Structure 1
């Protein structure tokens, strides 16, 4: 499986991987690790929210 296919089919528990989101920025201003940590928390919340409502 190519790297592009892995990004299009993320691991369970992930809606949009950080690597995909990072591609949207040309030059990332600031500390990437802080933003990555917050993005992963937000993405986890979104995944769980969708999962909760899909199971109802």
Structure 2
């Protein structure tokens, strides 16, 4: 069973997260030939102050 862990900045609306998991599940089933019930998706929402790229926290980037 495929399991996906997706990390996103916190605050995305429920409808966006719902669409994301529906599409990841759909494409996974089409590609791997599995049933939707076999696909697990874990969404971790991260605060911008806890994520950095290029040595800079996202909460401090303009």
Query: Whose strand fraction is larger, Structure 1's or Structure 2's?
Result: 2
State the structure with more CA Rg: 2
TM-score scaled by structure 2? 0.37
TM-score scaled by structure 1? 0.39
